[in-house]
Amino acid sequence: MAKGFGETSVSLKKNSKSSSLLPALDCEQVEKKLFEHFEDLTDPRGKQGVLHPFMSIVMIALLATIGGAKGWEDIEIYGVSHEPWLSSVLHLPCGIPKADTYRRLFEKISPTAMEQSFNSWLSSVVKDLGGQVIPIDGKTVRGSYDRNGEQRALHLVSAWASKNRLFLGQVRVQQKSNEITAIPALLELLDISGCIITIDAMGTQTEIAHRIQAQGAEYVLALKKNHPTLHLEVKQWFETAQGSSFEGIKYSHDVRVESGHHRREKRKVTAVALNQMGGLYKQAQWSGLQTIVRVIRTRHLWNKTTQEVMFYLSSLPPNAQPLGKAIRQHWSIENQLHWVLDVTFGEDACRIRTGNAPENIALLKRWSINLLNQETSFKRSTRQKARRAAWTRAICSKFSLLRFPYNLTCLMPKFSCAYPDSKVE
């Protein structure tokens, strides 16, 4: 993938005699490459009164979102601040669109078509997920509710590639439904063959386990009290086995201790093969079920100590170490996706709530996280990467010939070019 931060350099020395020249951008080449990913995205506007090209509006919105834009006015300000550069790579016959132009357009764009465009880009970046852990979890966009319109907040179920740190796709939970119906729809969109799917208790359903197995993947599903009979039976079995020190029972055990953020956590993982438990409640309904896992988490904080016991159903063999690792990696979707969306991109505070706009903007934000995570030459946090993407060309008016920003290059993995280096006299 093309990199931008590592290649960008601006000479601040006076009396510099020369600067290296790289091939200049060609607007037609840029648009051609972009349309390869957005070929299924159609303009929902009518023909009358259209001033701004459809693709230019979409691209400015995406670039502004990468830079941390949180609303329509932010997108407009980004465009105005970067107008000289944007005019060189996008067709802008009437200048930068106004905030209402973005709002009206994204209210009408089909979220399905936007998802197809994202998948086109994703397939150019990732050819094979390589059997990694893929957590699936839901998140509510809290600011998207509309009290007057009696509209609930948008709830999305997302998939996350824990190793590559990539958002893989999302499905909207319908108004009178829940994640149980959205998760199968999301799985249909993904090629998960050979991967390990981890889901919290809401997705611990026999139909979901069967679908995961049918698609050639394995699963680790949290078992909680939404399955009261099975949960109680597993809990009592482990308590009895623990009381006899697992005498005569084959099991696998692993202990991990981690410290950080003023806390110390100790995790004890015990994995037992299903045939060692003497039969569980309706166990035949769980496709491919091989192992029951118990995890005891003891957390030592500065002022207290807490302990939590969790149980999991898995189609993997009873090996505690890889199972414990997969369970631990499930939290990457919370720490590296949902937390970043709220803290860096302000998703919960965003009040975009009409038409298809909430779902489309949510996808742009997740797409932006992917692009920022793929930039590895600038060793900073996601927030600092976003700020650099937003501010690089607006730091000083003298820097009007800065190199091609990394963010648009990342959209076109096979197409890399740059502006000449600038110098300040």
Domain edges within the chain: 222-321
What Cα–Cα distance (Å) separates residue 196 from each residue in 94, 191, 218, 311, 353? 50, 12, 5, 17, 34
CB burial readout 264-278, b (16+ within 10 A) else e: ebebbbbbbebebbe
The chain-wide mean pLDDT, for the chain, equals 84
Q: What is the number of other CB atoms lying within 10 angstroms of the CB of residue 414? A: 9
What Cα–Cα distance (Å) separates residue 121 from each residue in 16, 108, 125, 187, 367? 40, 22, 7, 19, 10
pLDDT value of residue 411 = 52
CA atoms within 13 A on the CB side of 131: 3
Pair type for strands 196-199 and 133-141: parallel
User: Which residues of the chain are modeled with pLDDT < 50?
Assistant: 1-25, 394-410, 412-425
What Cα–Cα distance (Å) separates residue 33 from each residue in 44, 80, 124? 21, 24, 12
pLDDT value of residue 38 = 84
Distance CA 99, CA 105 (A): 10
What Cα–Cα distance (Å) separates residue 75 from each residue in 63, 81, 97, 341, 369? 9, 10, 9, 17, 17
pLDDT value of residue 29 = 61
Answer whether 388's CB lies under 8 Å from 403's CB: no
Q: Write the burial class of residue 167 (CB in 10 Å: 0-12 exposed, 13-18 middle, 19+ buried).
A: buried
Residue from 195, 221, 196 nearest 208 by CA = 221
Distance CA 380, CA 388 (A): 10
Distance CA 63, CA 89 (A): 12
pLDDT value of residue 28 = 61
What's the whole-model pTM score? Answer: 0.84
Q: Write the burial class of residue 250 (CB in 10 Å: 0-12 exposed, 13-18 middle, 19+ buried).
A: exposed
Q: What residues contact 159, with CB distance under 8 A and at least 6 apart?
A: 134, 135, 136, 167, 168, 169, 170, 186, 190
pLDDT value of residue 64 = 93
Q: What residues contact 383, with CB distance under 8 A and at least 6 apart?
A: 68, 343, 344
